[in-house]
Amino acid sequence: MAHPTPIDRSVAVLLLDGDQPSALAIVRSLGRQGVTVHVASSVERPLAASSRYAGKPVRYPDPLRDGAAFVAWIQARQQQHPHELIFPVTERTVVPLMLHRAQLDEQRLAIAPTAALEQVLAKDKTMAVAESLQIPIPKSIHVSNLAEASDAAQVLGYPLVIKPARSVGQDASGHVQLAVSYAQTPAELKERVTHTLQFGQVVLQEYFSGEGVGVEVIANQGEVQYAFQHRRLHEVPLTGGGSSLRVSEAVAPDLLEASRKLLRAIGWHGVAMVEFKHNPATGAFRLIEINGRFWGSLPLAVAAGADFPFMLYELMTTGRVGPHPAAEVGILGRLLTRDLLWLEHVMRQSGAGGVTQIPTRADALRDSFKTFSRRHRFDVQSWSDPWPGLVDLGRIGHQYWDRLAGVVVHRWRLFRAWRGSKGALQNLSQTTAAERVLFVCYGNINRSAVAHVHARAHYGDRWQIRSAGFHAQGQRAADPNMVKAASAHGIDLSEWRSHCLSAADVEQADVILAMELAHIERLAALHPGARSKCHLLAAPIASSAPEAEIADPYGKAPQAYDRACTRVIQSVDRWLKGRSAQPASATTR
């Protein structure tokens, strides 16, 4: 459709985050419109730079590691290229640009006003605005510590959605990109909240059963000028996350109205995606969040005719968004890299159980045939711009080859460790020289704790028992779930306190019994001379090499704790019971 006034396409665009598939969609969109696009990234050879529409790529300092250096780079770039717009794609670059916009020529930054961005980046502020507008939101509670999280779980119930208060957090090492996670048990809640609290407050939300729907818009001073909607068909992880397959659909009036009210109240200017959970059976919905930048499924929008990159260019250069045709409904968009991962999860039937229903293998096969539909599009692969697709396929092949090689190598090393450990057991039963046994796992609050207490109670008159973990923090109590599981076997972990592995522990031990091959290899790397005395604890009870490891139950279902506890006890008995009682010797923790 013709525009009332011509658009000056001589203004170039510096596109940040060029390693993202959505950045590739922007390059193709603007390139087809005759706009010069310079692709920039913090990584070498970003995907978008391989497009036929991209010029020579430029590299900037990683904003997550050194935000000041990144901002200084942008300043220098603006001085050298005064007629260039800057399009960030992710929060990695949006946040530092927002924080330092006073030092920059903000008229050339394609980001929303700071006040609006602050309300979008801080999820609690987003929800507060929605609640004031009577837009349905999930029940949410902000927590600052584990005690508050536990209390909130009693109110909200399981499963729970765990959200960082901000998408980009910060700790002593710099900015960190954070993600949403889920908890179905108190153990999972403790694990995931503990991690996220390192970077700021956490929002706990009720889990609303529905499908992920995104309403993408471009707004001019708070007024939506154009809208597009997609529905997620595949998400990775299966519990909910980034989409790998989606479909364009007609914009739902109630979702569009909610989006309009939100963005008007916030005073949004530019592109955004308003994300909802929508229950198609009841029509009920909940606001999830607002992504205040280009979104991951942007390639679908462009393929369907919703050319948001060019609309933003138009808004930045003319101050308005002209009329554009409605997007086509029923277009499928697939991000191949992520969708292969989705297929793996489905084929393994591994998911979140109570949080989401795992698609069947028949579902996966049926969806694979959609690739041959004339309405199907790949995010990266394109006949008209083939090189990025070939680069992507090469990366996929390399990734899977590395994984396959890693599996083969791991299995061979595990086989050797299993056979070696079984041989060591026979030697141990025939010698009286060995007295000091060290049990090792990662945290010393689950598996090695059980081994220590059980061995001390039953074999303390024959062996000197110690245990330790690689975790940097000592004096931690045993995992409550393992305390319960161990209690059923007559093992009391109520007074347990963890111990950090030291060089003295390794040097003094005659035999080191580890739970996983990774523990042995880490010990060998830290203390090369100790390799010959490191063995797999479960080797004697394992009928094959894969069974010779005892998996960490941390954060898993109660059955995993009970299984780990049982296997540890059985393994300890096989290793230590063969020796006759010796004169009593001191046992230490």
Asked if residue 361 and residue 491 are part of one domain, the reply reads no
Instruction: Assess if residue 279 is contained within a domain.
Output: yes
Residues 307, 29 contacting (CB under 8 angstroms): yes
Residues 205, 289 contacting (CB under 8 angstroms): no
Residues 241-259: tens digit of each pLDDT: 789 999 999 999 999 999 9
Give the CATH number of the domain where residue 61 resides: 3.40.50.20
pTM: 0.76
Asked if residue 107 and residue 117 are part of one domain, the reply reads no
229 pLDDT higher than 80: yes
Predicted local confidence at residue 275, as pLDDT:
96
269 pLDDT higher than 50: yes
Q: Is 398 exposed, middle or buried (0-12, 13-18, 19+ CB in 10 A)?
A: exposed
Helix axes 146-156 and 186-197, enclosed angle (nearest 10):
130
Asked if residue 9 and residue 133 are part of one domain, the reply reads no
Q: What is the dihedral of CA 95, 96, 97, 100, to 10 degrees?
A: 130
- Average pLDDT for 88-96: 95
Predicted local confidence at residue 587, as pLDDT:
42
* HEC letters along 453-510: HHHHHHHCCCCEEEEEECCCCCCCCCCHHHHHHHHCCCCCCCCCCCCECCHHHHHHCC
Cα(109)–Cα(103) distance, integer angstroms: 12
Predicted local confidence at residue 179, as pLDDT:
72
Asked if residue 420 and residue 350 are part of one domain, the reply reads no
Cα(273)–Cα(298) distance, integer angstroms: 10
Asked if residue 126 and residue 72 are part of one domain, the reply reads no
Predicted local confidence at residue 146, as pLDDT:
87
189 vs 225, higher pLDDT: 225
Which two structure tokens, joined as six digits, stand for 131? 């609640």
Q: For residue 516, give Cα distances in angstroms to 101, 427, 439, 479, 547.
A: 49, 21, 11, 19, 10
- 331, 351, 384: which is the final residue of a domain? 384
SS3 category, 85: strand
Predicted local confidence at residue 285, as pLDDT:
96
Give the CATH number of the domain where residue 516 resides: 3.40.50.2300
- Closest residue by Cα to residue 210 from 286, 148, 143: 286
Mind giving me the DSSP string for 69-115?
HHHHHHHHHHHH-TTEEEE--SHHHHHHHHHTGGGS-GGGB-S--HH
Asked if residue 462 and residue 375 are part of one domain, the reply reads no
Predicted local confidence at residue 33, as pLDDT:
95
Torsional sign, CA 486, 490, 493, 499: negative
573 pLDDT higher than 90: yes
Instruction: Assess if residue 184 is contained within a domain.
Output: no
Predicted local confidence at residue 172, as pLDDT:
47
Q: How confident is the model at residue 165 (pLDDT cuts 50, 70, 90)?
A: confident
Instruction: Assess if residue 164 is contained within a domain.
Output: no
391 vs 186, higher pLDDT: 391
Predicted local confidence at residue 457, as pLDDT:
94
Asked if residue 380 and residue 308 are part of one domain, the reply reads yes
- Average pLDDT for 331-344: 94
Please state which of the ranges 320-329, 426-435, 471-480, 554-563 shows the lowest mean pLDDT.
Answer: 426-435
Asked if residue 232 and residue 215 are part of one domain, the reply reads yes
298 vs 150, higher pLDDT: 298
**Percentage of residues of the chain with pLDDT beyond 70:** 92
What is the total residue count of the chain?
589
- Closest residue by Cα to residue 14 from 44, 35, 43, 45: 35
Predicted local confidence at residue 356, as pLDDT:
64
Give the CATH number of the domain where residue 329 resides: 3.30.470.20
Residues 125-145: tens digit of each pLDDT: 999 999 999 999 988 888 888
Asked if residue 411 and residue 298 are part of one domain, the reply reads no
Q: Is 147 exposed, middle or buried (0-12, 13-18, 19+ CB in 10 A)?
A: exposed
SS3 category, 178: coil
Does a cis peptide bond (omega within 30 degrees of 0) precede residue 237? Answer: yes
Predicted local confidence at residue 584, as pLDDT:
42
Instruction: Assess if residue 95 is contained within a domain.
Output: yes
Asked if residue 557 and residue 431 are part of one domain, the reply reads yes
Does a cis peptide bond (omega within 30 degrees of 0) precede residue 46? Answer: no
Instruction: Assess if residue 424 is contained within a domain.
Output: yes
354 pLDDT higher than 80: no
Asked if residue 415 and residue 329 are part of one domain, the reply reads no
Instruction: Assess if residue 564 is contained within a domain.
Output: yes
In the block, which residue shows the tokens 């499928």?
332
For the chain, state the CA radius of gyration.
28
Q: Give the count of domains, the chain.
A: 3
Residue 548: DSSP 8-state: G
Cα(236)–Cα(343) distance, integer angstroms: 10
- The dihedrals phi and psi of 141, each to the nearest 5 degrees, come to -135, 130
Predicted local confidence at residue 429, as pLDDT:
58
Q: How confident is the model at residue 4 (pLDDT cuts 50, 70, 90)?
A: low
Which two structure tokens, joined as six digits, stand for 126? 């987003």
Domain coverage including residue 228:
113-138+208-384
- Closest residue by Cα to residue 257 from 272, 281, 274, 271: 274
Q: For residue 209, give Cα distances in angstroms to 136, 419, 518.
A: 14, 48, 38
Other beta carbons less than 10 A from residue 124's beta carbon = 14
Predicted local confidence at residue 205, as pLDDT:
84
**Amino acid at position 457, single letter:** A
Which two structure tokens, joined as six digits, stand for 179? 């993600």
Instruction: Assess if residue 93 is contained within a domain.
Output: yes
Residues 58, 73 contacting (CB under 8 angstroms): no
244 vs 427, higher pLDDT: 244
Instruction: Assess if residue 495 is contained within a domain.
Output: yes
Asked if residue 426 and residue 321 are part of one domain, the reply reads no
